Amino acid sequence: ATSVPNFSYMGARLCNYLSHNLTISPQSGNFRQLLLKRCRAEFENRDEAAKGDEATRKQFHAFVLFLGELYLNLEIKGTKGQVTRAEILQEGLRELLNALFSNPVDSNLICAVKLLKLTGSVLEDAWKEKGKDDMTEVIQRIENVVLDANCSRDVKHMLLKLVELRSSNWGRVLGTSSHTEATPENDPNYFMNEPTFYTSDGIPFTAADPDYQEEYQELLEREDWFPDYEENGTDLSGAGDLYVYF
């Protein structure tokens, strides 16, 4: 799951399945105990990893996002038979966020944004149940990073959109009917996952902007996306092959 990031969700689901269904239990512990022990080993190197070179940080980010998926998907049965989440993972994610924000290079901050978009609503609910205000502290940390860190403009924009996402209750719509669907009118975060484009002056715009269609069309007309090909797909670079676009 950490070697192939796109496998993190499926890996977490598989870990949950094995924790409940794997019957072999070696002397060193059952599957869940071994899994958490392995995660702990990676977790303890968090500060060094967040300060490491690009390859080290990339591997660390994959671990962070896998731990986020594991927190969401690993089901623990409580003493009364109720299903809960692993509290140790909740505490671990808080410390991982601290490590990322303490080393505010672009890649670390992007990882923090991804982690919070994935787990933010669940983490905040869990902290509130304990009477903790940890998410407010996290958001304050983000605002400080935006003001003080030397991260890129695009990353600062991502961080501000995350603050906006949290202010809209993580995009959750509280409707009077169970069939209420999110729309641009009732959900201020409706366009959160839409791509951001930039005008020739460097001004960002998304589908939420009134002039989106016009700006987007101008962008398409200005950019020559396939300079070496004619409309019929003929390669003009010299090879002479025909390309078919699907």
The tokens describing 140, both together, are 């304050």
The tokens describing 237, both together, are 């670079």
pLDDT tens per residue, range 141-183:
999 999 887 889 999 999 999 999 999 999 887 654 444 555 5
Name the percent of the chain lying above pLDDT 70: 70
Please determine, for residue 5, whether its predicted confidence score (pLDDT) is greater than 50: yes
- CA 195 and chain centroid, separation: 15
pLDDT tens per residue, range 42-92:
999 999 999 999 999 999 999 999 999 999 999 987 777 778 888 889 999
pTM (predicted TM-score): 0.69
Please determine, for residue 14, whether its predicted confidence score (pLDDT) is greater than 50: yes
pLDDT reported for residue 225: 46
Local confidence band at 28 (pLDDT 50, 70, 90 cut-offs): confident
pLDDT tens per residue, range 133-142:
999 999 999 9
In contact, 31 and 19? CB cutoff 8 Å? yes
pLDDT tens per residue, range 214-229:
665 665 555 554 454 4
Number of H helices and number of E strands within the chain?
9, 4
| Architecture of the CATH domain 7-170 | Alpha Horseshoe (1.25)
What are the boundaries of each domain within the chain?
7-170, 191-224
d(CA 117, CA 119): 6
